[in-house]
């Protein structure tokens, strides 16, 4: 039950921050969602690396990675925004957004993980 509470708290905070960033940055292109997905990918890489090096506990990992990053990043919004780009004929933006999110997101997880090697 304690673990679920930490995931809940982290998820709520992450979701609120994601909402605020999306409200501020999303215009004719979903910059806010792209930003949170990339930043969230970097953060989860950092948190996983810190956990692997035993610099954070399992409980803190639940709060930060499972909870906060799970609430902060948003694949469902990503998918819906891609559909809208396709439906409105913005094929080039769809390709940039989809491929950029995938490739850069994976790269950011790697960078975050590698940063922890220097801590």
pLDDT, tens digit (0-9, with 9 covering 90-100), for 35-52: 999 999 999 999 999 999
**Structure pTM?**
0.83
Residues with Cβ within 8 Å of 29's Cβ and at least 6 positions away in sequence, in order, are 93, 97
Q: How far is the C-alpha of 104 from the C-alpha of 31, rounded, in Å?
A: 14
Q: Given a cut of 90, is residue 12 above it in pLDDT? A: yes
Residue 41 is part of which domain span?
A: 2-118
- Tally of domains in the chain: 1
Determine the pLDDT at residue 119: 86
SS3 category, 28: coil
Tell me whether residue 73 is annotated as binding. yes
Question: pLDDT band at residue 85, thresholds of 50, 70 and 90?
Answer: very high
Tell me whether residue 74 is annotated as binding. no
């Amino acid at each position: 039950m304690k673990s679920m509470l930490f995931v809940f708290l982290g998820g709520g905070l992450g979701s609120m921050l994601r909402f605020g960033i999306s409200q501020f940055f999303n215009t004719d292109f979903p910059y806010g969602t792209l930003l949170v997905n990339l930043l969230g990918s970097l953060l989860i890489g950092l948190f996983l690396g810190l956990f692997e090096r035993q610099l954070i506990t399992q409980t803190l990992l639940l709060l930060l990675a499972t909870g906060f990053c799970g609430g902060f990043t948003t694949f469902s919004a990503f998918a819906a925004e891609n559909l809208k780009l396709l439906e409105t004929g913005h094929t080039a933006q769809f390709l940039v957004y989809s491929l950029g999110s995938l490739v850069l997101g994976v790269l950011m997880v790697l960078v975050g993980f590698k940063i922890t090697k220097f801590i």
